[in-house]
Structure 1
Amino acid sequence: MTDLVETPDGRAHVLAGLGGMGKSTVALRVAEVALAQGRRVWWVRGLDGSSLASALLGLAQVLGADAGAVEAARAGRTDPSDVVWGRLEAHRGWVLVIDNADDLELLEVAGRPVGDGNGWVRGSRAGLVVVTSRDGDMRHWGRGVELHPVGWLSDEDGGRVLLDLAPRAGDRAEAEALSARLGGLALALHHAGSQLSSPFSAEQSFARYRAALEAGFAALLGPPGAVDDREVVTRTWEVSLEQLAGGGVPQARELLGVLAWFAGAVPIPVEGLDREVLGRVCRYAGPAGVGVGLEALVSVGLIETSTSAGDAASGQQSGRGRVMMHPLVAETIRHQFGAGDAGRLTASVAVDLLAAATGELDAQDPGDWPTWSAWLPHLEELLSTASTLVEEASLVTLANAAADAALTLVWAGSYAAALAVAEAGLHSTRRLGAEHRATIELRNREADAHNFLGHAAEAERLYRDVLQARERVLGTDHPNTLATRHEIARMVAKQGDAAEAERLYRDVLQARERVLGTDHPDTLGTRHEIARTVAKQGDAAEAERLYRDVLHVEEQVLGTDHPQTLATRYEIARMVAEQGDAAEGERLFRDVLHVEERVLGTDHPSTLATRHEIARMVTEQGDAAEAERLYRDVLQARERVLGTDHPNTLTTRHEIARIVAEQGDAAEAERLYRDVLQARERVLGTDHPNTLTTRHEIARIVAEQGDAAEAERLYRDVLQARERVLGTDHPSTRITARSLRALTEPTDEAADE
């Protein structure tokens, strides 16, 4: 199959067989070959329909899908598979692995069966699609799929596997006999060979291991060939666990039970396996028994240290300090522990492990973002599997972890992913009730995501619901209540009412200074936003003064590289430029960009905002051609990261139209402006200041093309709207008034003559 990496044949390829046969191992080999060739590889788990859809839509966004289209797909308004495949077909030379897609109903889209070939699983010549599944019925997969059965190893091949793992455990005939007794199942052979080579093993030969199977698990084994894949694997690890217990490591069973709640085949950072937490399942050994227990599980092959190829295929950073478990083992152990006391205990410990590993992370610190990225698949797995089992205290912990993850994703600029995590958290922890603090926090994170996705009206609605709940539950002066009031003011400002936003912010500032103090980061955040509203109302000099006052404190309290400090430096550069010094503005913006690219990354929305402003500074200094090139680079990145309808993307499109006009192509500029206007009216509304700016520019372009009457009509409409929305003294209103006078005064003079 590896030859298909370079030359895909237009079909999807399904590796079919029982669990533990080595399907994922074959897929991983394909992924390794692709990675070695420098190709992009995506590894998606097919165990859960919602997780599958979320992962694939996330992939679509990485490949440049419009954020609005992704949101519509998540909401069920459009076909999500079309969104994903539209982007996959636009790129070449990739490999997509959908692992453990055992339930084909989870692969259906809009009620269409997999065999139709127009859902998640499609053939392509742009890249290679590999699916691993227990379903080997060709009638279910359809004609667009090639099926590759992955069956039992022959006795001879299975014997070679055992001899490779445990070369001193016996001769070839004994190895082949044990392979036959294990049904040639690759995972079972791996476990058996690892056990025989382990220092914890009581059985040191193939023959004695086979005798132990027969004597201890005769009922489980049944007659040869009469058991399924789960039973075959279960009997091998039961031998291992029994022997570990007999060798003084009984805690291995419970430790394995805890790790089974995390995502199978996804590396778990070892530094996050808190020994005090895990010690709760280590019986009399306590925390001191954790290391011994984990080492014992590794030695018998029940958990594995991750390989760099496995990490890469799973989308994780490679590293020595990670362990993972085969998905079949995790699934079966969870089922084995069940919903009884053992299941509840191990699930709650897994939740507490996640909380201990992520609880001290700072959402605003880019250095902590990779750690959250490593734990995010495990959070999603716990939300999906453990949330129905754990007691309320653990459910609260899980909800809080989801809220923390969503906040981190917002700061990292992954707004659609933040929304997906918040919504998953709300769904999985809904038995806490709407008035629970953890639920309210998740609702607030949902509003945050809508805010940064550019949905100001929806975010304001959600924030106001959160505010009512927080005032009832926490009180009016609680810091979280004040944070929600702050965000409501921000949404009012985003929808164009800067004066009302300033009034709301100043009320919040008064309360925050009283409750939190004048130097608290939240207080500084409100002072920052007040400066922004002052700027929006036309007083750039006063706004600059306010920003510089905030910056002085932020550099002392937060540090020079903190994202909030960088945001204030960005705004100071903008105010300097607003007052006419484009060269100094460009210098300040480039200083900010240098730090943002190092701290936040080149594709972070804040970094792209700074690049946009540098293009504007180049425009102001007269180099229209270079400015257009810079703007188009920013537009491409913003469409990929934020989507085509995001307000920031529309701002860049507006500026490109302006640059086209400055280079003399008025007709093309008008066309571009009208496209932007249509989008802004739909996204922001007809009275938003940005919408009015585009309408003003259309009037100007119409005038340049000689249609004075139509331009006058358009200017008068814009002036009337700006006077109503911004006031008669706002700089933007005065600009429209001057433009109208310049157009009409010559006509008036001619009439007087």
Structure 2
Amino acid sequence: MANLASTYRNQGRWDEAEKLQVQVIEARKTKFGVDHPDTLASMANLTSTYRNQGRWDEAEKLEVQVIEGYKTKLGVDHPDTLITMGSHASTYRNQGRWDEAEKLEVQVIEGCKTKLGVDHPDTLIIMGNLALTYWNQGRWDEAEKLGVQVMEARKTKLGVDHRDTLTSISNLALIYWDQGRRDEAEKLEVQVMEARKTKLGVDHPDTLTSMANLTSTYRNQGRWDEAEKLEVQVIEGYKTKLGVDHPDTLTIISSYASTYRYQGRWDEAEKLQVQVMEARKTKLGVDHPDTLTSMADLALTYWNQGRWDEAEKLQVQVIEARKTKLGVDHPDTLTK
């Protein structure tokens, strides 16, 4: 049942995943007790579902409970304790609480190095997450240095074409892109895309994600035709593989709308943005961060069309929702 819930979660079927996970937790509490490792593992899985739904407060509260349970039952330096602490740091990162995320990630890395070794896959995962935290803070040099270290270690430990290695290369491409090193970013993105096509297949979600990342590079280079052509291919792949209303499908449709907007094709952009916004409201909820992003993007399209009143109304709505959901000083609240 827990495994089925994980499958639902990977399909973006959050409500079904949550319902099944809660059922498993309650059964394990009755059968094994609240502090049994299996019960705690079920609770940790539920936090992932909360995180995917943007329910940061609930995720954080449950993660703290799981961490304390693991510390008592298994010890502070047990791998399960450390992994849950790493997940807790991801919750901080998603909330824009970079300093807290960084502090916890450094702590977990040291624990993993001591307990598991420097080149253990779990150690490398949390090091990769710390690189993302640096990236979110705009600390490009530190992010790059750590990202390269993780990538090289994974190449040695897991192989050049291993899924985790390719993820590292993809993350490094993001860092290059934000540094303005567009040619290097594109080269890495193409490398990852081709490797994933060979290793996983053309229609695998990871392959499609690589293609989606490449469209962003094309778009930012003003290569609209190439971006649009690839986006259409990715959208069709996601629809077939994951479903029309899967969060990843909606994300690439949103990017496709951005391509229209950058070209001044406002009507086409608006039509897609409204479609994504309504789907996210139904799938994720009105106050989910992704839904709010859709609303903010639509407001920009209204603004570009000179529809000031509609833009303002939507922007105020997004600001207020983000203040409540993310906090007044969260980067997304301040940006849009």
Determine the structure 2 residue equivalent to 1:573.
173
> Is 2:134 the partner of 1:530?
no
Aligned amino acid, residue 235 of structure 2: L
Aligned amino acid, residue 211 of structure 2: R
1:693-737: per-residue Cα shift (whole Å, max 9, x none)? 43443232112212345545656776785893435xx9x956x6x
> Which structure carries more helix by proportion?
2
Determine the structure 2 residue equivalent to 1:557.
157
Determine the structure 1 residue equivalent to 2:238.
638
Q: 1:472 to 1:685 in 2, by over 3 A?
A: farther
1:221-240: per-residue Cα shift (whole Å, max 9, x none)? xxxxxxxxxxxxxxxxxxxx
Q: Is the 8 A contact 1:67 1:644 kept in 2?
A: no
Which sits farther off after the overlay, 542-551 or 638-647? Answer: 638-647
Determine the structure 1 residue equivalent to 2:307.
707
> Is 2:85 the partner of 1:509?
no
CA distance in 2, matches of 1:478, 1:468: 12
Q: 1:425 to 1:641 in 2, by over 3 A?
A: farther
Following superposition of structure 1 onto structure 2, how do residues 126-525 of structure 1 map, counting pairs within 5 Å?
431-445=31-45, 447=47, 450=49, 454-457=52-55, 463-525=63-125
> Is 2:326 the partner of 1:726?
no
Q: Is the 8 A contact 1:426 1:443 kept in 2?
A: no
Q: Is the 8 A contact 1:608 1:637 kept in 2?
A: yes
Query: SS of 1:724's equivalent?
Result: coil
Q: Is the 8 A contact 2:33 2:39 kept in 1?
A: yes
CA distance in 2, matches of 1:726, 1:538: 15
CA distance in 2, matches of 1:73, 1:551: 32
Q: 1:694 to 1:670 in 2, by over 3 A?
A: same
Shift of residue 666, structure 1, vs aligned partner: 0.7
Q: 1:649 to 1:583 in 2, by over 3 A?
A: same
Aligned amino acid, residue 145 of structure 2: R
Q: Is the 8 A contact 1:554 1:565 kept in 2?
A: yes
Following superposition of structure 1 onto structure 2, how do residues 589-668 of structure 1 map, counting pairs within 5 Å?
589-668=189-268
Structure number with larger C-alpha Rg: 1
Determine the structure 2 residue equivalent to 1:386.
none
Q: Is the 8 A contact 1:513 1:523 kept in 2?
A: yes
CA distance in 2, matches of 1:646, 1:555: 32
Which sits farther off after the overlay, 495-504 or 570-579? Answer: 495-504
Determine the structure 1 residue equivalent to 2:272.
672
Structure 2 unpaired stretches of 5+: none
Structure 1 unpaired stretches of 5+: 1-49, 76-418, 737-753
Number of residues of Structure 1 aligned to a counterpart in Structure 2: 323
Shift of residue 533, structure 1, vs aligned partner: 1.9
Give aligned-pair identity as a percent: 31
CA distance in 2, matches of 1:679, 1:497: 28
Determine the structure 2 residue equivalent to 1:291.
none
CA distance in 1, matches of 2:286, 2:90: 17
TM-score (norm: length of structure 1): 0.38
Q: 1:494 to 1:646 in 2, by over 3 A?
A: farther
CA distance in 2, matches of 1:442, 1:705: 49
> Which structure carries more strand by proportion?
1
Shift of residue 654, structure 1, vs aligned partner: 1.3
TM-score (norm: length of structure 2): 0.77
Q: 1:456 to 1:467 in 2, by over 3 A?
A: farther
CA distance in 2, matches of 1:490, 1:646: 22
Q: Is the 8 A contact 1:495 1:684 kept in 2?
A: no
Q: 1:71 to 1:530 in 2, by over 3 A?
A: same
CA distance in 2, matches of 1:451, 1:566: 27
Q: Is the 8 A contact 2:24 2:42 kept in 1?
A: no
CA distance in 2, matches of 1:539, 1:545: 10
1:109-136: per-residue Cα shift (whole Å, max 9, x none)? xxxxxxxxxxxxxxxxxxxxxxxxxxxx
Query: SS of 2:222's equivalent?
Result: coil
Aligned amino acid, residue 189 of structure 2: F
1:179-210: per-residue Cα shift (whole Å, max 9, x none)? xxxxxxxxxxxxxxxxxxxxxxxxxxxxxxxx
CA distance in 2, matches of 1:561, 1:676: 34
Shift of residue 424, structure 1, vs aligned partner: 7.1
Q: Is the 8 A contact 1:456 1:495 kept in 2?
A: no
Aligned amino acid, residue 726 of structure 1: H
